Amino acid sequence: MVKIINGKEISNSLIEKLKEKVDKLKLESNVCPSLAVIMVGDNPASKIYVNNKKRICEKIGIKSYEFVLPANAPESELLKLICGLNKREDINGILVQLPLPPHINEKKIIENIAPLKDVDAFNETNVGKIMTGNFKFLPCTPAGIVYLLKESNIKIEGQHCVIIGRSNIVGKPLAMLMLHNNATVTICHSKTQGLREICKTADILIAAVGKPKFISSDMIKPGAVVVDVGINRDINGYVCGDVDFEKVKDVASYITPVPGGVGPMTIAMLMKNTITAALLQKNI
């Protein structure tokens, strides 16, 4: 029978551990980790994400700052804000909520965040460190996926991991993390030939393609571990993942649900990165 990987339960356990760490840090070193979140415009989905981050910060004991710029704010104003936050000793982590309005260059913005405050680990300096294995921070979603697998006692070493999706946020860094954990990795994308056949060779299949219920049961090797990164809406308007959960669960050995799988881990890992940033900046 398939085992459901409960991301909400695992993330709650991690959040409790992080809270204990922050309490100890405040007591022994008088250090309170802090996170600055910048939002440009009033995207409803972004507002939800930002509010969730603030709520978890409060639960753990991380001080949160929110900076909101109007949607038509010039790129120079956002860069000036980031420059100021880079210099502030009371700010340990900086996160710019994506997506940004079309007139702002996302890459330029990310590259202007100080590497030791880049808690999303999107800066090219931090991305390069992931390639070499000399990293301080890991992108939150890939790190959350590896944490879920390990907490579920799922073997990674020696396994064939197929990742569908090659984004800079999930697919590429996740491939590096799985390689660092001694998996054999295949990355698939929209131009991949014979996708179904490749997926059926996976011991661990990770779907990050952004298409509702794209992964069907005939793409899964019996007993495979299936991780669903997607967050979509089906034809009835309900939240669903990239995997056809109801059909695939009859073939897989482990599977993450949507919602309640990978999603909760992303914010938990952001909190972990923020604490790491504080420790590095205070030389603790």
Q: So which residues are the catalytic ones?
A: 53, 97, 120
Nearest 10 degrees: CA dihedral of 270, 7, 23, 31?
-10
The runs of H, that is alpha helices, within the chain are: 7-29, 44-60, 75-87, 106-111, 124-132, 140-151, 171-180, 195-199, 245-248, 263-281
Inter-CA distances, 46 with 40, 159, 239, 258, Å: 9, 36, 16, 19
End-to-end CA separation in angstroms for the chain = 46
- Nearest-angstrom CA–CA distance, 106 and 203: 35
- Nearest-angstrom CA–CA distance, 38 and 75: 13
